[in-house]
Amino acid sequence: MPLKLTKRRNSDNWYIRGTVRGQSVFESTGTCDREIAEAIRIKTEGRLLNESVHGKKALITFEEATESYIASGGSERFLIKVSPKTGKVSGIAAHFRGMLLKEMTQSDLDAAARILFPNASPETRNRQCYTPFIAVWNHAASNQWAEVRQWKRPRKVKGTNVVRLKTRAGTKPTTYDRAAQFVAAMSPAPAQLMTALFYTGMRPIELFTLEASEVNVPGRWITLDASKTGEPRGVPIHEFLVPLFEALLARGGILFRTHKGEPYPPTEDFGGQISSAITGARNRLQKRGVAITDISPYTARHTVSTQLVVNGIHPYVKDQILGHAADDMSRRYTHVPQQRLLDAINTLPVPQLWRDQEWWQDPVYWSRRLIRWGQASGNSRAQSLQSSN
């Protein structure tokens, strides 16, 4: 029978009910206005009729795929941005408003990157446009709304005599001894977060939003059901991190929090979430005559990748740890701890200075303490730490 509007008991909203070419429908219109509900009913009936004839793959738009991607746990960063003042919606999804997935081409993506980020470097366009776009596309492909496709990303210009005067912190790897020195100059809460980054290789946004339910300490395994790429993945836990994760799991909820007990903002900026902690560590080190200004949260991911290569780990294993692998078999075993990945992550070195940090004694207690601005870090509670209260 065709779709019609009905009402349920104890509800003012109109509901759509009926069958279109064998597909049953019973859903709320979300409105009590009959006129609006009728428009929604007509649109829904037309969409279902078209899908039954042409298939959903022929009708899904990038906006719809984006909404589904975000609803499944994907980040809306760069995809959807709403101005708090005007309410205007912008971002990648808004740029492609109304465009069907089946009609999208490489030139459309390249043009979007140029329009949305006209003055950005190739690296920035890649991170802020191509990566979120491809994540949505992969999500759509996994739902059979689009064909699996290899999108080309921007490359650095070759053969140029342009010299960069400044390199963004976090774009290059560092040594673990140098990282230990930097982390030792941080307050305990951001130091714990940076430690986890340097021994998992996770993306900062993945660790900022990591919850207790995703961590299996006995199995030495972290399960991310919705990663930045739109695909689930598993992350091995280094033995060095076990005491830290055990302590934070006892607290529950979001694992890594500020010294005030609040979750870090789930954004992908280079160090923006803990920028004051990064600046504080640089200042303390500078007072001691040590200049380390190129370390940020993303430094850890580059360092893990580089160190695994130096340690002779097979590129395929390295890519699985970092979440680059996308073959069907690796996704199939996302929730299953894999010994070869555990063996590989445990080749990462642990400097003694890192092991000697006092906050290891009680990570939750120390996470609420803060090094006074400009002070050198140390192991004395009385001299270098104060309560966040």
What letter would DSSP give residue 184? T
CA-atom Rg of the chain in angstroms: 25
Mark whether 288 and 369 lie in a shared domain.
Answer: yes
Q: Per the domain annotation, does 85 fall within a domain?
A: yes
Whole-angstrom distance, CA of residue 173 vs CA of residue 158: 22
Closest by alpha carbon to 190, among 75, 281, 291, 282? 281
Tokens describing residue 203: 């993306």
Of 65, 57, 74, the residue nearest 137 (C-alpha): 65
Given a cut of 50, whether residue 202 has pLDDT beyond it is: yes
183/231: higher pLDDT: 183
- For 252-360, list the strands marked E by DSSP: none
What are the structure tokens assigned to 216, written together? 């299996």
One-letter amino acid for residue 265 of the chain? P
pLDDT over 70 at 56, yes or no: no
CA distances from 285 to 197, 289, 327, 331 (A): 21, 6, 44, 42
- 359 within some domain: yes
Do residues 182 and 276 both lie within one domain? yes
Which amino acid makes up residue 251? Answer: R
Query: What pLDDT sits at residue 74?
Result: 85
216's CB contacts (< 8 A; 6+ apart) are 222, 223, 337
Q: How many CB atoms lie within 10 A of CB 386?
A: 14
Which stretch of 24-28, 93-97, 292-296 has the lowest confidence by average pLDDT?
24-28
Instruction: Report percent pLDDT > 70 for the chain.
Output: 81
75 shares its domain with 30: no
Together in a domain, 256 and 335: yes
Is residue 370 within 8 Å of residue 187, measured between CB atoms?
yes
Residues 306 and 199 in one domain: yes
Q: Give dist(CA 343, CA 322) in Å, integer.
A: 14
Higher-confidence residue: 91 or 53? 91
- The parent domain of residue 11 ranges over 4-54
Q: Are residues 30 and 68 in the same domain?
A: no
Give the CATH number for residue 202. 1.10.443.10
Residue 168 lies in a domain: no
| 186 and 317 in a common domain | yes
The number of folded domains in the chain is: 3
Query: 203 near 192, Cβ under 8 Å?
Result: no
pLDDT at 383 exceeding the cut of 90: no
188 and 324 part of one domain: yes
- The whole-chain average pLDDT of the chain stands at 82
- Which of 126, 142, 158 finishes a domain? 142
SS3 263: strand
> Is residue 298 included in any domain, yes or no?
yes
Q: What's residue 11's pLDDT?
A: 77
Give 57's pLDDT tier (boundaries 50, 70, 90). Answer: low
Side chain identity, residue 378? G
Instruction: Please check whether residue 6 is in contact with residue 44, taking contact to mean a CB–CB distance below 8 angstroms.
Output: no
Q: Identify whether residues 244 and 344 lie together within a single domain.
A: yes
Distance CA 239, CA 199 (A): 9
pLDDT at 134: 94
- Between 148 and 332, name the one with better pLDDT: 148
Write the single-letter amino acid at 147: E
Tell me the whole-structure pTM to 2 decimals.
Answer: 0.59
Distance of CA 230 to the CA centre of its chain: 10
| Percent of the chain whose predicted confidence (pLDDT) is above 90 | 40
Residues 129 and 190 in one domain: no
Residue 227 pLDDT level (bands cut at 50, 70, 90)? low
- 338 in a domain, yes or no? yes
pLDDT of 224 above 80: yes
